[in-house]
Structure 1
Amino acid sequence: MTPSWYDVLGVDPDASTDEVRAAWRAAIADLDPADRRFRSLNQAAEVLLDPERRAAYDATLEPDADADADTDTDAADGGTAAPVTARVPSGPRPPRSPRVVPGWSLVVAGVLAVALAALTVLALVSPAASGEADAEEAREVAVRAIVPVLSYDYRSMDESAAAASTYMTSAFKTRDYDPLFAVLQENVAETETVVEAEVVDSGVVRTGEDRVEVLLFVDQPTTNVRFTEPQTYQNRVVVTMVKDGEDWLIDKLVTTGAGPAAGE
Structure 2
Amino acid sequence: MPLAALALTAVVSLVVGSYFLVTGISGKDGGDLAKAQSQAAAAAGSASETIFSFQYDKLDDHLATSKALMTPAFAKEFESIAPALTELAPQRKIVVQGVAREAAALPCGSDCSADKVDVLVFLDQARLVGDSKTPTVFANRVKVSMVRSGGDWLVSDIRAL
Matched, 1:170 2:75: no
- Residue 227 of structure 1 and its aligned partner are, at CA, apart by 3.2
2:49 corresponds to which residue?
Answer: 147
CA RMSD of aligned residues (A): 1.7
Q: Distance in 2 between matches of 1:144 and 1:230?
A: 21
Runs of 5+ unmatched residues, structure 1: 1-127, 257-264
| 1:220 and 1:233 in contact (8 A); partners too | yes
Look up the SS of the partner of 2:130 in the other structure. coil
Where does 1:1-264 land on structure 2 (aligned, <5 Å)? 131-175=33-77, 177-207=78-108, 208-209=112-113, 210-225=115-130, 227-256=132-161
Q: Deviations over 1:88-128 (max 9, x none)?
A: xxxxxxxxxxxxxxxxxxxxxxxxxxxxxxxxxxxxxxxx7
Q: Unaligned 5+ residue runs, structure 2?
A: 1-29
Whole-angstrom CA distance in 1 between matches of 2:107 and 2:95? 32
State the 1:203 CA deviation: 1.3
Runs of 4+ in structure 1 deviating by more than 6 angstroms, as ranges, are: none
| Alpha-carbon separation, structure 2, partners of 1:178 and 1:137 | 26
CA distance in 2, matches of 1:168, 1:206: 22
Code of the residue aligned with 2:91 in structure 1: it is E
Amino acid at match of 1:240: S
- In 2, Cα distance between equivalents of 1:147 and 1:206: 23
**Distance (whole Å) between structure 1 residues aligned to residue 119 and residue 81 of structure 2:** 22
Query: 1:148-192, CA deviations, whole angstroms, 9 ceiling, x for partnerless residues?
Result: 1111100111111122111100100102x1011221001111110
Q: How many residues are aligned here? A: 128
Task: Give the whole-Å Cα distance in 2 for the aligned partners of 1:229 and 1:155.
Answer: 19
- The structural deviation recorded for 1:228 is 2.9
Separation (CA, whole Å) in 2 of partners of 1:202 and 1:249: 15
Match of residue 9 from structure 2: none
Partner SS for 1:187: helix
2:145 corresponds to which letter in structure 1? T
**More strand by percentage:** 2
Tell me if structure 2 keeps the 8 A contact 1:206–1:212.
no
* CA-CA distance at 1:226 after TM superposition: 6.1
Whether the 8 Å CA contact 1:151–1:195 is kept in 2: the answer is yes
1:245 shift after superposition: 1.6
